[in-house]
A and B are shown apart, each in its own frame.
Chain A
Amino acid sequence: MEFIVQTNNLTKRFGKHTAVSAINLKIRKGEVYGFLGPNGAGKSTTIRMLLGLMKPTYGSIRIFNEDLNKNRIKILKQVGSLVENPSYYPHLTAYENLEALRKILGAPKSRIEEVLAIVRLSDVANKKVKSFSLGMKQRLGIAAALLHSPKLLILDEPTNGLDPNGIIEMRNLIRRLPKEYDMTVLISSHILSEIDQIATSVGVISKGSLIFQGPIEEMRKKANPKIRITVNEPQLAYQSLLANGIQVDSQNQHLYLSEQTDNEVAKAVKCLIKNDFSVYRVEEEKQSLEDIFLQMTKEGNLQ
């Protein structure tokens, strides 16, 4: 299998505090990899190490199958990035900002117009960036990251601070990239719902440890659905079920079955009817992906 990014026990300590703890990222070609974790989980720290902005305390990084430590410049020629808040030179126009970066990257001049068009900033190319809205600055950051047509795009919370429209727009843009430009994308976020529609794989980081990594469908499987039963006398029904040896929870006037096999459900329903309770509803309650994510990060390192 061809991995575009692969880390081996990547670790970063700040003094005694371990911000990133022995993580093994595996990102395949053509993926949109969602890198998820709550605030302070270590996403930015990991991304900074992937770009050579920070030296790992321990562990190694391979990008395009080359050692980042040895071939940093060669690797970065094919990596576009946006780390944390967008960086720009406010006293320069959008065009000049990109021109300064283009000089260093050695991209053709025509590329500036192209990337400005991709992020829809062509109209304001000659306006100073200090007058831009946050969304425009963020888009300029993306344009800068796309300048040299990178094979790997690393975006750290690119939707941070954007309004709902801006988020949708950014999402649509990122979704297009792998197909249209043959890119692999790593995108971090602390909100799952922001990226679950575009990510093909996810990595969940919590307190510095990678607690899940895999296709997003696999994460959905982690959901444990519950059977919820609604009856006329929940308290009495609860006691009656327990008395008949059926494992059950009572919450908010609903009954939740602990065992969910067809057999168990049938047994519980039969028992209720036999004891003259009115059964209004028997439903399967699915956990949303967000719930799974929250539960995962709450459990933290427990796995």
Chain B
Amino acid sequence: MIGKLLQADFIKIKRKGFWLLSFLGAFGVVGLQIVNYSLRYDWLIQQSDDKWLYYLYNVHSFTAMALVLGIVILTSLIASVEDETNAWKQLIALPVSKMTVYLSKFTVLATLLFISSTLLAIFTFSYGLFLDLGEPVPYIEILKFSFYPYCASLPILAFHLWIATVSRNQGIPITFGVIGCIATYLAYVLPDWVIWKWPTLMNDWNDPLMNVWLGIGFGILLYFIGMFDFIRRDVK
């Protein structure tokens, strides 16, 4: 069942900019460093002995923001595809369980964000090579900086999918989106329990892996809360 719904959902997101957005998110983050390094290469390259790590930190400084923004836009977009002509009623009058409908939407978004994170790793690696940052190439670090924020942002994804699917208009999700972006921007002054801080991988223990496990754990929890609320409600 979930396979069929996924196929249908991937048809529905055609021509709506989902794929372009997933590409742009990753490209934008590295693109900013392309601008940065093009403008002041000589200065930046002298800032640290570990040129690769310094470069990765620069890239990473925009990753969380891009992720949060991407989640807000993608979740609202996927809800609006069904909201536009109130196709929820048509979808849920099909022989499918509401649980699977919800799971399919989540899976589509999680997949797009995963692809985006993979692209981020590829772009980061490629531009790093181009900058000639020296040997050895820190493959593991590149992967960590690309996929840790992804895992840490799962609660935000689950939360936004929830409010985007149950709200009657996208005003509430967008409002939360704006708040979330500001919170991510100000992450360094916020306490560790704020979920919008997690994709920045900052915490008091200085252990990024902590955010990964928290992200997965709370992501699952919020996913189930959202799903059960979606099931419980009458269809819009």
> Once the chains bind, are A87 and B234 in contact (CB under 8 Å)?
no
Interface size class of B (residues with CB under 8 A): 20 to 34
What residues of chain A lie closer than 8 Å to B7, measured between beta carbons? 103
Number of A-B contacts (CB under 8 A): 86
* Bound Cα distance from A51 to B89, whole angstroms: 9
Option from B11, B81, B90, B97 in Cβ contact (under 8 Å) with A83:
B90
User: What 0/1 readout, one digit per residue, does chain A (122-158) give for beta carbons within 8 Å of chain B?
Assistant: 0000000000000000000100100000000000000
- Interchain CB contact under 8 A, A91 and B15: yes
Q: B46 contacts the other chain (Cβ, under 8 Å)? A: no
User: Which residue of the partner chain A has the closest CB to B7?
Assistant: A103
Given contacts A52-B92, A54-B235, A55-B234, contact A103 B86 (CB under 8 A): no
Q: Is there a chain A Cβ closer than 8 Å to B85's Cβ?
A: yes
Is A298 an interface residue, CB under 8 A from the partner? Answer: no
**Residues of the B chain whose Cβ atoms lie less than 8 Å from the Cβ of A194:** none
| Cβ contacts B73-100/A at 8 Å (1 or 0 each) | 0000000010011111111111111000
Q: Are B86 and A91 in contact (CB under 8 A)?
A: no
Interface string of B147-163 (1 = CB under 8 A from A): 00000000000000000
- B14 interface residue (CB < 8 Å to A): yes
- A88 with B85: in contact, given A53-B234, A76-B93, A101-B94 (CB under 8 Å)? yes
With most chain A CB atoms within 10 A of its CB, the pick from B14, B85, B89 is B89
Closest residue of chain A to B96, judged by CB? A104
Q: Are A104 and B4 in contact (CB under 8 A)?
A: yes
Interface pair A81/B93, CB less than 8 Å apart: yes
By a CB distance below 8 angstroms, the chain B residues around A90 are: 84-85
When chains A and B are docked, how far (Å) is the Cα of A89 from the Cα of B12? 7
Compute how far the CA of A230 lies from the CA of B6 in the bound complex, rounded to whole angstroms.
72
Whether A144 contacts B90 in the complex (CB less than 8 A), given A73-B95, A85-B85, A104-B96, comes out as yes
Q: Residue among A55, A74, A88, A91 with the most chain B CB within 10 A?
A: A91
Binding site for A on B (CB under 8 A): 4-5, 7-8, 11-12, 14-16, 81, 84-97, 234-235
Q: Can you list the 9 inter-chain pairs with the closest CB atoms, starting with the nearest?
A: A87-B90, A87-B87, A76-B95, A53-B235, A51-B93, A54-B234, A77-B95, A100-B8, A100-B11
Beyond the given pairs A105-B95, A141-B90, 4 more chain A to chain B contacts, judged by CB atoms under 8 angstroms and listed by A's residue number, are: A77-B95, A83-B93, A99-B11, A100-B11
